[in-house]
Amino acid sequence: MISTFTTSESLAAARAANRRAAVAGRTVIFRIKRCDGPGKPSRWEDFKVPVPVGANVISCLQYIAANPVTADGKPTTPVVWDSGCLEEVCGACTMLVGGRVRQSCSALIDDYAPAEGDVITLEPMSKFPVIRDLWVDRERLFHNLKRVKAWVPIDGTYHLGAGPTESPDQQGTRYKLSECMSCGCCLEACPQFNLEEKPDMWDTSFIGPHAISQARLFNMHGTGKVLADERLDALMGMGGVSECGNAQNCVKVCPKHIPLTESIAAMGRATTIHGFKRFFRG
Amino acid sequence: MSESTTADPRGFFERNHYLLRRLHSLSGVVPIGLFAIIHLTTNSSIVWAAILTEKGRTVTDRTVATFQEEVYFIHNLPFLIFTEVFMLWLPILFHALLGIYYAKTGKANTDRYSYQGNWRYTLQRVSGYIGFLFILYHIATLRWGWTFLVPGGTRWEYPYAASTLAACLRGGVGEVTMAGILISVFYFIGVTMLVYHFANGLWTAAITWGLTISQKAQQRWGVVCTALGVTLFAMGASAVLGFATLRPDEALRIENRVMPTDKRVELQREGKLKPNPGEPRSADAVQTH
Ligand code: HEM
Ligand code: SF4
Ligand code: SF4
Ligand code: FES
């Protein structure tokens, strides 16, 4: 491969090499982009952290929270972050580790800072408003799932019986799509999805690859299908599927390896057909 | 579909968002992309005609004569100006203006995510901007006669298609000038950018319309688009090189020779017939085939 381009393989290889070279009992500098609250200016602070074997970013953040002193010895406020599952299934701990978006709970220090005194940078995601330090507000991500009604409508007054049966093929496709944990990695890396602080702009700004993929998931669902037209209408609106510029970063950074670009193309096809139908039906 | 009787409160662009995006995509492929293929095929005949035709004695005879005949063919097409305006200039303007507007909705991030696809995306926008500037210059100088933008001040004229084009690229009818080299380089960059833009655009258009869905299909279509891009690049590069190395005086003799009689009579009447280099203007006054 051409080495000037980053590939998923070259990244994985570089991390594996770091992991093999990692020195036991070292101290690592955590360079953290901090912010005291919404609208407040950001600043960088360094922390010295002794790194035990197998440490990850969250365990080191816990150390910093217990010892809120900067590398040059000044006391400071504990660094704030968000997390939940600690096993890469909830998406809450997503941040920029070494400049690239990923889950911090599964980010091993050995992969990034193998030698004594190595620096590892932590930043909050840039496409969502910062609440404090590394903690961001992902509300727009969930709002965009509502725009495409990313659910199966089953609420009613009587029992609907068993759902329709499904082919193994379709089940396989849908299972992969269903693994999305709403983490926001794909949005952070997408050049067409950018920070929008004003919620009244959300409905006309790019909906994002995760929502396009979820629309596909629920349009393939036997019962979820009943809302298919509404989902396609939403995807044809301002900020819909055609806002994607095919940079295909999303699929590269998705920790669940969801085939986002295939979903985008599939919804491109579905909206094409839907558009023609709508045109001739009036 | 919508049963509401009240007017849609959304603006024109918002209501027709999807349609406009699809027309943008379509316009890039047809008519603009299709025209680009035809245009580069014609212009690169200044090189390929040397091998593929048998007209004339020398290489230049064959290439200039073939190119000039193609130009006559195009200029004899009915409703040419109508075709130009509605199939070319307006679609390009539409595609370019919307393209700039769409390009401004994105924020390049190749510094953090230097994936090949991300570079393609960024280059698609950069090539759009540069290509637009190039097309403006190209049409304004060669088609609209804005000779003040041409070093050497040559006006392109279709009965003298090759010689005037060469002079526009070389900075005058004589030897190549420094300004001429700059213009030729600008042409090379402009053409290369637009070829990339079209080839990559054809690849993304297949995703836009949902023709290629699986990664395999996208890869296969990528091979086709790359092959087309490489071919068009070869044609564009030979066109620029072919004209930048063509001597206008030599080309002029050939153009005068292959000129149809009615055209010659018409140019003579208007006093626009150019004498062969080294011959006085009156000397050609009585020549006909
Ligand atoms: C003159 C020759 C041109 C050709 C043959 C051409 C062709 C194309 C094609 C085929 C596409 C793909 C559409 C899609 O992905 O669905 C495209 C996209 C695009 N074009 Fe052009 N184009 C030309 C000029 C321009 C110019 C002058 C601009 C102005 C800046 C421009 C800006 C864009 C942009 C920004 C896109 C990406 C749109 C998107 O991904 O949504 N193009 N073009
Ligand atoms: S393919 Fe589309 S959605 Fe994915 S990163 Fe690129 S622009 Fe964003
Ligand atoms: S699609 Fe992938 S990257 Fe995007 S939110 Fe879902 S899990 Fe995260
Ligand atoms: S804490 Fe849940 S993914 Fe990291």
User: pLDDT for A240-251, tens place per residue?
Assistant: 999 999 999 999
Instruction: Report yes or no on B186 lying in a domain.
Output: yes
CA A188 / ligand 3 centre spacing (Å)? 10
Nearest to A191 by CA among B195, B24, B213, B115: B115
Instruction: Report yes or no on B224 lying in a domain.
Output: yes
Contact B59, B50 (CB under 8 A): yes
Instruction: Report yes or no on A119 lying in a domain.
Output: yes
- For A47, phi then psi, to 5°, come to -135, 140
CA B158 / ligand 1 centre spacing (Å)? 29
Last residue of a domain, one of A96, A113, A132: A132
Same domain? A44 vs A171 = no
Same domain? A144 vs A274 = yes
Instruction: Report yes or no on A1 lying in a domain.
Output: no
Q: Is A180 in the pocket of ligand 3 (CB under 6 A)?
A: yes
Instruction: Report yes or no on A3 lying in a domain.
Output: no
What's the number of domains chain B is made of? 1
Last residue of a domain, one of A100, A132, A164: A132
Instruction: Report yes or no on B116 lying in a domain.
Output: no
Sequence-distant (≥ 6) Cβ neighbours of residue B109 within 8 angstroms: A189, A191, A249, B118
Same domain? A237 vs A215 = yes
Question: How many C-beta atoms lie closer than 10 Å to residue A42's C-beta?
Answer: 12
Q: What is the pLDDT of residues B40-57, one digit of tens each?
A: 999 999 999 998 887 677
Q: What is the pLDDT of residues A179-215, one digit of tens each?
A: 999 999 999 999 999 999 999 999 999 999 999 999 9
Q: What is the ipTM of this complex?
A: 0.93
Q: What is the pLDDT of residues B35-94, one digit of tens each?
A: 999 999 999 999 999 988 876 778 999 999 999 999 999 999 999 999 999 999 999 999
pLDDT above 70 covers what percent of chain B? 94
> Which CATH number do you get for residue A173?
1.10.1060.10
Residue B113 pLDDT exceeds 80: yes
Q: Which of A95, A231, A246, A253 to mutate to test the interface with B (most CBs of B within 10 A)?
A: A246
Same domain? A179 vs A151 = yes
Distances (CA, A) of B163 to A55, B140, B272: 73, 18, 15
Query: How far is it, in rounded angstroms, from Cα B22 to Cα A243?
Result: 11
The whole-number average pLDDT for the span B235-261 is 96
Q: What is the pLDDT of residue A279?
A: 87
Q: Which of the four pLDDT bands, split at 50, 70 and 90, describes residue B1?
A: very low
Average pLDDT, chain A: 95
What residue in A sits closest to B215 (Cα-Cα)? Answer: A262
Q: What is the pLDDT of residue B5?
A: 55
Residue B286 pLDDT exceeds 70: no
Same domain? A196 vs A235 = yes
Q: What DSSP string runs through A220-253? A: SSTTGGGGHHHHHHHHHSTTSGGG-----HHHHH
Instruction: Report yes or no on B2 lying in a domain.
Output: no
Q: CA of B1, closest CA in chain A: separation in Å?
A: 6
What residues make up the domain containing A62? 8-132
Q: What is the pLDDT of residue B27?
A: 98
Same domain? A183 vs A257 = yes
What's the number of domains chain A is made of? 2
Same domain? A238 vs A165 = yes
Residue B119 pLDDT exceeds 50: yes
What residues make up the domain containing B195? 29-106+124-288
Contact B215 A246 (CB under 8 A): no
Q: Which residues of B touch A267 (CB under 8 A)?
A: 210
> Which CATH number do you get for residue A112?
3.10.20.30
The whole-number average pLDDT for the span A156-161 is 82
Q: Given B14, B107, B210, which is nearest A265 (Cβ)?
A: B210
The whole-number average pLDDT for the span B197-225 is 98
Same domain? A173 vs A120 = no
Instruction: Report yes or no on B229 lying in a domain.
Output: yes
Contact B109 A191 (CB under 8 A): yes
Contact A269 B106 (CB under 8 A): no
Contact B118 A238 (CB under 8 A): no
Same domain? A142 vs A217 = yes
Last residue of a domain, one of A71, A101, A132: A132
Q: What DSSP string runs through chain A? A: --TTSB-HHHHHHHHHHHHHHPPTT-EEEEEEEEESSTTPPEEEEEEEEE--TT-BHHHHHHHHHHS-B-TTS-B-PPPP---SSSSSSS-TTEEEETTEEEESTT-BHHHH--STT-EEEEE--SSS-EEETTEE--HHHHHHHHHTT-S-----SS---SPPP--HHHHHHHHHHHT-----HHHHH-TT------GGGGGGS---HHHHHHHHHHHSSTTGGGGHHHHHHHHHSTTSGGG-----HHHHH-TT---HHHHHHHHHHHHHHHHHHHHHH-
The whole-number average pLDDT for the span A272-279 is 94
Same domain? A240 vs A124 = no
* B224 and chain A in contact, CB less than 8 A: no
Instruction: Report yes or no on B74 lying in a domain.
Output: yes
Residue A276 pLDDT exceeds 70: yes
Q: Which two tokens stand for residue A227?
A: 């809302």
Query: How far is it, in rounded angstroms, from Cα A164 to Cα B14?
Result: 37
Instruction: Report yes or no on B16 lying in a domain.
Output: no
The whole-number average pLDDT for the span B239-254 is 97
Instruction: Report yes or no on B7 lying in a domain.
Output: no
Q: What is the pLDDT of residue B289?
A: 42
Sequence-distant (≥ 6) Cβ neighbours of residue A281 within 8 angstroms: B1
Question: How many C-beta atoms lie closer than 10 Å to residue B173's C-beta?
Answer: 17
Q: Which of the four pLDDT bands, split at 50, 70 and 90, describes residue B163?
A: very high
Q: Which of the four pLDDT bands, split at 50, 70 and 90, describes residue B280?
A: confident
Residue B127 pLDDT exceeds 50: yes
CB-defined site of ligand 4, < 6 Å: A 83-86, 88-93, 103, 105
CA B269 / ligand 2 centre spacing (Å)? 61
Peptide bond between residue B31 and the one before it cis (omega within 30 degrees of 0): yes
Q: What is the pLDDT of residue B2?
A: 46
Residue A170 pLDDT exceeds 90: yes
Distances (CA, A) of A19 to A15, A244, A276: 6, 36, 53
